[in-house]
Amino acid sequence: MKKPFLLILAILIISQGFSQKVTKEDSTMIKNIYNASLLDGASYDWLDDLSNDIGSRLSGSLGAELAVTYTKEQLEEVGLDKVWLQSVMVPKWTRGIAEYSYIETSPGVTSTTDICALGGSVPTPYGGLKAEVVEVLSFEELAVLGREEIEGKIVFFNRPMQADLIQTMGAYGGAVGQRYSGAKEAAKYGAVGVIIRSMNLRQDDYPHTGTMSYGDTPEHLRIPACAISTNGANYLSATLKLQPNLLFYYTMNCKTHADVQSYNVIGEITGSEYPDKYIVVGGHLDSWDLGDGSHDDGAGCVQSMEVLRILKKLDYKPKHTIRVVLFMNEENGLRGGKKYAAEAKRKNEQHIFALESDAGGFSPRGFSFDVEDAVFKQVKSWEPLFEPYLANWFTRGGSGADIGPLKNEGMVKALAGLKPDSQRYFDYHHAANDTFDAINKRELELGAAAMTSLVYLFDKYIY
């Protein structure tokens, strides 16, 4: 009698082993989660309110504050154990009167182009700025041209996103440096302004804004930075080839103000076994001001809210405390993410897992994990659970900007980011067409369900 018992025990130990095996109960739970999201979800209606009733939510704007109030109320209605606002001071930058620009090929012969100020830019001088244009593809090219060729001119950074990269985030990473640091670099050589080709893989008329930095450039040397649509960039480039001494005119009325009071919105379901260990799921509540921020990152916010709503709805009692955090100011400061991490550190809130959705509300393909080997091995064993939902692409990589500070503070063990299909993301990213009509209800809901399923598994199996 003893030997079979030991054998069974050994098999049990091996099979549970280092990573616990998922059960039939898990696949049933995940099916229930998907049904709750697809048949009776709240995410789409929440996003409708956020996008169509409130609209854009740039840090420090009225929209941002209305979004704080609205999402707090909605989380309260879900019946979480605790909902509160976490105070955070945020930068305030305003676009002012709409930008205007044209290309002048000879006196009085002009064609207008589609531009927008980059977030954080200084304005043009009153009445606008007109100068010759030098087109470059890189900072290296800029350095070769030097002060002699650059001084007094506008530098036009026209490096396109690489279309042959399958994952568009990689293409963004390879091109966004010119947006972020173009003005700083060009100012070194005496440029009077910069025009940046929009971070967009599509050819269209939308200029795409986004954050930029002057670094340590002295204030009086800071030059106005705008983005031009991809169509506009192609047109400007082609016209420059015909007439290198054309003039570009633009006027921008943007302004940086003093920091203002804002908030992260936080809600939680208290853990039944480990109330002082946390799982956090979130997105960022702020958005750029041109569209209504439906994909970036209204989608991530409502999906994160939906995670807790579904768990409540299914009457799941988490072992750990599960928090939703809607971070303020990801776009131009990351103050919300930093504040949340600093507070977690101050209170010694140990997080076992942090999950962010900030790559658009598109059809989910899987998750990117920033975890140690042992955890990744366990996570990989969950892939089959996500196969019926076609969200089983589990890879290693980055997670999300807002949860990054939690890692930097050493307050989280495992991080992940939702990986939606990335092909259309940069069609909308930071542009006026990032609006609710670009959201597909099912795609949004599938993302929320995948996130909820992952949070459930971390709560159940990871300690």
442 binds a second copy (CB under 8 A): yes
- List C-alpha distances in Å: 99 to 39, 127, 282, 356: 44, 11, 33, 33
Judged by CB under 8 A, the number of residues near a second copy is 26
- Residue 347 region by backbone torsions, left for phi larger than 0, else alpha for psi between -120 and 50, else beta: alpha
The footprint of a second copy on residues 24-43 (CB under 8 A) is 34-35, 38-39
Please, which of residues 340-379 interact with a second copy by CB under 8 A? 363, 365
**Cβ nearer to a second copy, comparing 166 with 238:** 166
**Residue 101: CB minimum distance to a second copy, A:** 26
CB of 393 to a second copy, least distance (A): 7
Extract the tokens encoding 205.
Answer: 């008329």
Query: What mask, x for binding a second copy by CB under 8 A, covers residues 306 to 345?
Result: ----------------------------------------
Task: Give the residue with the Cβ less far from a second copy, 273 or 437.
Answer: 437
Residue from 144, 390, 397, 410 in contact with a second copy (CB under 8 A): 390
Is residue 427 near a second copy by the rule CB under 8 A? yes
Asked whether the beta carbons of 434 and 383 are under 8 A apart, the reply is no
Q: What is the DSSP letter of 52?
A: I
Q: Tokens 């208290």 appear where?
A: 270
Residue 192 near residue 131, CB atoms below 8 Å: yes
Task: Give the shortest CB-202-to-a second copy separation in angstroms.
Answer: 7
Which amino acid, 324?
V
Tell whether residue 396 is a contact of a second copy (CB under 8 A): no
2-21: contacts with a second copy (CB under 8 A): none
CA-to-CA dists, residue 277 to 323, 327, 390, 412, angstroms = 10, 20, 30, 10
Would you say 320 and 412 are in contact if contact means Cβ atoms under 8 Å apart? Answer: no
Binding of a second copy by 253 (CB under 8 A): no
* Among the listed residues 84, 100, 376, 389, the single contact to a second copy using CB under 8 A: 389
- Interaction of residue 441 with a second copy, rule CB under 8 A: yes
Residue 246 interacts with a second copy (CB under 8 A): yes or no: no
Nearest CB to a second copy, comparing residues 148 and 387: 387
What is the residue type of 49? D
Q: If we measure between CA atoms, which residue out of 208, 17, 248, 15 comes closest to residue 115?
A: 208
Can you name the residues that pair with 416 across neighbouring β-strands? 355, 369
Looking at residues 269 to 288 of the shown chain, list those that interact with a second copy (rule: CB under 8 A).
Answer: none
The residues annotated as belonging to the active site are 330
Q: Is 316 helix (H, G, I), strand (E, B) or coil?
A: coil
Angle at 362 between CA 263 and CA 384, to 5 degrees: 105
Rounded to whole angstroms, the Cα distance separating 24 from 33 reads 14
Pairing state of beta strands 274-284 and 320-327? parallel
Structure tokens at 148: 């002699």
Gap between the Cα atoms of 278 and 10, Å rounded = 33
Closest CA to 33 of 316, 238, 271, 318: 316
Selected range binding a second copy among 110-118, 264-272, 302-310, 441-449, rule: CB under 8 A: 441-449
Q: How far is the CB of 231 from a second copy (least distance, A)?
A: 14
In the complex, what is the shortest distance from the CB of residue 415 to a second copy, in angstroms, rounded to a whole number? 22
Among residues 202, 222, 380, 396, which is the contact residue for a second copy, using CB under 8 A? 202
By CB under 8 A, residue 380 contacts a second copy: no
d(CA 56, CA 69): 14
Cα distance between the two ends of the chain: 35
Q: Which is nearer to a second copy, 428 or 456 (CB)?
A: 428
Query: Kind of pairing, strands 82-94 and 255-269?
Result: antiparallel
> Which residues pair with residue 130 across a beta bridge?
249
For residue 16, which amino acid is it?
Answer: Q
Question: Rule CB under 8 A: is residue 434 a binding residue for a second copy?
Answer: no
Contacting residues for 284 by C-beta, under 8 A, at least 6 apart: 297, 300, 301, 326, 327, 328, 329, 330, 331, 336, 337, 358, 401, 402
Q: How far is the CB of 165 from a second copy (least distance, A)?
A: 9
**Should residue 393 be labelled a site residue for a second copy when binding is judged by CB under 8 A?**
yes
Residue 207 CB, shortest distance to a second copy, in Å, is 19
Q: Among residues 29, 136, 201, 290, which is the contact residue for a second copy, using CB under 8 A?
A: 201
Residue 388 binds a second copy (CB under 8 A):
yes
Among 118, 233, 302, 446, binds a second copy (CB under 8 A): 446
Tell me: does residue 423 bind a second copy (CB under 8 A). Answer: yes
Of residues 168 and 332, the one with the C-beta less far from a second copy: 168
One character per residue 145-184, x = contact with a second copy (rule: CB under 8 A): ------------------xx-xxx----------------
Q: Which residues bind a second copy (CB under 8 A)?
A: 34-35, 38-39, 163-164, 166-168, 201-202, 363, 365, 388-390, 393, 421, 423-424, 427, 440-443, 446
